[in-house]
Structure 1
Amino acid sequence: MTPSWASSGLPLFIFLFFVVFHRAQLTYWLGRGAAKGALASAGKNGLRGKIAAWFEGPVPRYGARLLEQWGIVIIPLCFLTVGVQTAVNAGAGVVRMSWKKYTLAMIPGCIAWSIMYGLGMLAVWMAVVRAAAGSVWAWLGLLAVAAVVATLVLVKRRRGRGSEQSLEHG
C-alpha cells in the first residue's frame, strides 16, 4: 500500500524507486549470502537447510543461466517482467557478480519499474500480452521477431567461433 504522501507524481515515483531498489538489493544480497551459506548448510535440517535448498533450486539457477546467456543486459530487462526479477537478482548474487556492476545495471531497471507501476503501465503491458496471446497475427509477429533474434545470435556465435579458430591456427 502506498503512503498518502506518495499518491501521485514525483513522490510516488521516488517511493516506488525506493521500494524496488531495496527489494532488488535484498534479493541480490540474499543470493550472495546463500551462495556462501548454501555450501555450509547443504543437507542440514531446519530453516538453514530449507534456505540452502531454495538457493540451490531452480529459481536462482534459472537467474544465473539467464545472466550467463544474456549477460548484464538481462538485469535491467528483468524489471520489465513479472516473475523473472527474483530469479535474476538472486542469480546475480549467487554467481557473486560485483556489487558495483550489479547496482549500476539494476538502476535503469528500477527506474523503468517505478515508471511502469507509477503510471499503471504494468497493467497495460500485461493486458497487451494477454491480448496478443489470443491473436494469431500477434503470435506470428512474435515468432518473426524471435526468428530475427535467433538468427542474429547464431550469426554472432559463428563469427565468434571463427575468430577463435583463426587465433588458434594463426
Structure 2
Amino acid sequence: MDGILALPFVWAFGVLFVIVMVRSNATYWAGRGIAAGGRRTALVRYLDSPSVRRAEKAIARWGAPAVAVSFLTIGFQTAVNAAAGLGRMPLRRYLPATVVGSIMWAAIYATIGLAAFDAAIAAAAGSPGAGVALAVMAAVALAAGWCLRRRRARLRAATAAGGTTARGVEHHG
C-alpha cells in the first residue's frame, strides 16, 4: 500500500504532526486576523467592551488546557483554535498547548486512526458488500450533517427575525 499508510510509525507520526500544527496555527492566525480586522470597523465598540476583554483574559489564562484537550475531539478542535485566535491568546501560551495537542493527535492517528482507515480500505477492497456498506454509511453521515446544518440555520434565522423557532415557540428578543 502506498502513501502515509506504508510509512513507519515515526515517519507517519512526523507527517501527521506537521499537518496538524500547520492546520491549527492557520486557524489560530485566521482568528487573529479576523479580530484585528474587526477592530478597524464599527465592531470595535463590541470587541473592546469590558465583557470581551474579560473573555480575552480568561482565554489567555485558562485557554491553554482547552486548546490541548481539543485535539482529542473531532470538530471542536477547529472552533477552539479559532476562538484562541479571536480572543488573542498570547503565543507563549498557545504554542505549547498546540504542540502538546498535536503530539496527542498525531500519536492517535498514527496508530489507531491509520489502522482503522487501513482496515476499512482492506474491507472495501476484499468485499464489494463492505465497500457498498462504507459508501452508504458515509452518505448517511453526510446527509445527516447537511440536515442538521440546515435546521440550525433555520432556527438562527427565525430567532434573529424575532419570530417563532422551528418548534413554534415565539421568541421575544
TM-score, normalised to structure 1's length? 0.51
Provide the residue aligned with 1:32 in structure 2: 32
Partner of 2:141: none
Q: How does 1:1-170 map to 2 (within 5 A)?
A: 3=3, 7-40=7-40, 67=59, 71-121=63-113
Percent of aligned pairs with the same amino acid = 38
Tell me which structure has the larger Cα radius of gyration. 2
**CA–CA distance in structure 2, aligned partners of residues 104 and 25 of structure 1:** 12
Q: 1:13 touches 1:115 (CA, 8 Å); kept in 2?
A: yes
Match of 2:48 in 1: none
Counterpart code for 1:25: N
Tell me the residue number matched to 1:54. Answer: none
Gaps of 5+ in 1: 44-63, 125-170
Structure 1 residues 108 and 4, CA, compared in 2 at 3 Å: closer, same or farther?
closer
Q: TM-score, normalised by structure 2?
A: 0.50
Aligned residues: 104
Aligned CA-pair RMSD: 3.4
Equivalent position SS for 1:40: coil
Q: In 2, are the aligned partners of 1:6 and 1:15 still within 8 Å (CA)?
A: no
**Superposed structure 1 runs of 4+ greater than 6 Å apart:** none
Q: CA deviation at 1:83?
A: 0.9
In structure 2, the gaps of 5 or more residues are: 44-55, 117-173
Question: Which is helix-richer, 1 or 2?
Answer: 1
